[in-house]
Amino acid sequence: MRIERARGTRDFLPEEMRKRRTMEARMRDIAEKWGYGEIQTPSFERSELFTVKSGEGILKEMYEFRDKGGRHLALRPELTAPVIRMYVNELKMAPKPTKVYYFGNCFRYEEPQKSRYREFWQFGAEIIGSDRPEAQAEIIALAYHILEGLGIHIKAELYVGHVGLIREVLRAANVEAERINSVMRLIDKGEREEVIELLRETGAKKDLIDDLISLVDLKVKVKGKDALKEAREREIIVSDSDAAKELEMLLQILDYYGVVYTLNPGIARGLDYYTGMVFEIYETGGRLGAQNQICGGGSYRLATLFGGDDTPSTGFAFGFDRLAELFPQETSDLKRGGVVAVVMPIREKNADPTAEVVEEAIKIASRLREHIPTYIDVMSRNLSAQLSYANALNALFAVLVGRTEIREGKVTVRNLETGEQEKIGVEECVKKIKAYFAVD
């Protein structure tokens, strides 16, 4: 019986893993240079961690189960709630603000489609203990620099908004708190008609609905504070609201960082916990299809829900798999992946190689492995079979070790691309392959 992978999951072969590790290393390097410390939390949590804010409804979007002790658990659908839980439990005494980053798998019970999986990876960062405009701008700038630092040349659009802008309009119209969340979710899904319908049901006046829709539709592609000025001139936002003031300062700082963005007050974000700035990055060259959001984030307050003091925080998470789909396969920080040299113990007249030959071959392989990805025959194959195996592996060098070589204190090195071969000392052989491969 053939057993298939679970729906919405993937296997990653060595070439793909090499690429993913290259990307991960580049992203990690930038986060570390910005002074963020890496953290890791468990793959599963108590399910309340995710339902306490969003309600039981969220359970249908998660992998949740009871363990043998009857505890209700869930595979994490994201990492912000776990990070804040960890902060409340372990990091409360750390200097504030606390800056952390993470890379981990997440699980969502969603309908799989292109670039949407049931198991996927997020690379994210959080500043815990500040949601001042400086912190919010830093988080956006960090995401922006990580994307730039990855070196993928894609068409992308970064939208910045503030949930306060929409919430203020809704509050002014006396829409109840619970309804506000439903409206935000509909806006996030782009379901305009449903938003209008829901607001009509609440008895909202036409003026309000018009205001809200024009706010949602507003995308101002003007750099810096001028974007906000334009939004104010068009009387689409309440000029002197706290949200507008906060946004103004944040946009100003984004300019200092050289971040290119579009002001978009229509960003509502799918998750319930955002309280202030929100931002999203989209791939706009059409390479990801419908699931083209590559990063999402914003400001939120979750700590009190998990038994901590009220702690404003701000963060983001990249959809790592979507980035991987945009990352060119041949770009790898390793000059060349896979095996480079194959050490070949030579058999004697159809008999296994002598113990002396095997011992010497292992010594030489060990020496090469200090610098170079090296294979050694483990099948006791004859030389021609070993050579065709090395060719199939795309190896660059064969290092032949037989009785004659041992007697002369040398090895026979064959360049598998040119076919040239020579008998040289082991150290010279190491030097030669290293030089060819250009490793230290």
Q: Does 23 bind ligand HAM (CB under 6 A)?
A: no
Per DSSP, the three-state class of 126 is strand
CB-wise, 118 or 414, nearer to ligand HAM?
118
> What part of residues 59-78 is at the interface with ligand HAM (CB under 6 A)?
78
Selected binder of ligand HAM within 108, 162, 347, 414 (CB under 6 A):
108
| Residue 269: CB minimum distance to ligand HAM, A | 7
Selected binder of ligand HAM within 158, 295, 340, 416 (CB under 6 A):
295
| Residue 195: CB minimum distance to ligand HAM, A | 20
> What part of residues 308-337 is at the interface with ligand HAM (CB under 6 A)?
315-317, 319, 321-322
CA 228 to chain centre: 30
Beta-sheet pairing, 37-38 with 98-107: parallel
| Residue 183: CB minimum distance to ligand HAM, A | 19
CB-wise, 273 or 389, nearer to ligand HAM?
273
Q: Does 364 bind ligand HAM (CB under 6 A)?
A: no
10 Å CB burial of residue 420 (0-12, 13-18, 19+) is exposed
CA–CA gap between residue 399 and residue 422 (Å, rounded): 10
Binding region for ligand HAM (CB under 6 A) out of 122-130, 212-220, 231-239, 252-260: 122-130
| Residue 79: CB minimum distance to ligand HAM, A | 6
**274-283: strand order across its sheet:** 37-38, 98-107, 119-128, 313-319, 293-300, 274-283, 156-162, 262-263
Selected binder of ligand HAM within 97, 129, 266, 298 (CB under 6 A):
298
Q: Does 82 bind ligand HAM (CB under 6 A)?
A: no
Q: Does 297 bind ligand HAM (CB under 6 A)?
A: yes
CB-wise, 301 or 403, nearer to ligand HAM?
301
| Residue 45: CB minimum distance to ligand HAM, A | 13
Cβ atoms < 10 Å from Cβ of 162: 29
| Residue 9: CB minimum distance to ligand HAM, A | 11
| Residue 126: CB minimum distance to ligand HAM, A | 5
CB-wise, 35 or 419, nearer to ligand HAM?
35
CA–CA gap between residue 325 and residue 430 (Å, rounded): 37
CB-wise, 54 or 122, nearer to ligand HAM?
122
Place of tokens 């030097």: 431
Q: Provide DSSP, 204-273.
A: --HHHHHHHHHHHH--B---THHHHHHHHHTT-S-TTSHHHHHHHHHHHHHHHHT---EE-TT---SSTT
| Residue 77: CB minimum distance to ligand HAM, A | 7
Greatest extent of the chain over all pairs of C-alpha atoms, in Å: 97
Structure tokens at 429: 């052989």
Q: Does 293 bind ligand HAM (CB under 6 A)?
A: yes
Classify each residue of 43-79 as buried b or exposed e, where b means 16 or more C-beta atoms within 10 Å of its C-beta. ebbebebbbebbeeebbeebbbeeeeeeeebbbbbbb
Residue 74 is given by DSSP the state: E
Q: Which residue is nearest to ligand HAM (CB)?
A: 319
Per DSSP, the three-state class of 89 is helix
- Where along the sequence are the contacts to ligand HAM (CB under 6 A)? 78-80, 108, 110, 116-117, 120, 122, 124, 126, 270-271, 293-298, 315-317, 319, 321-322
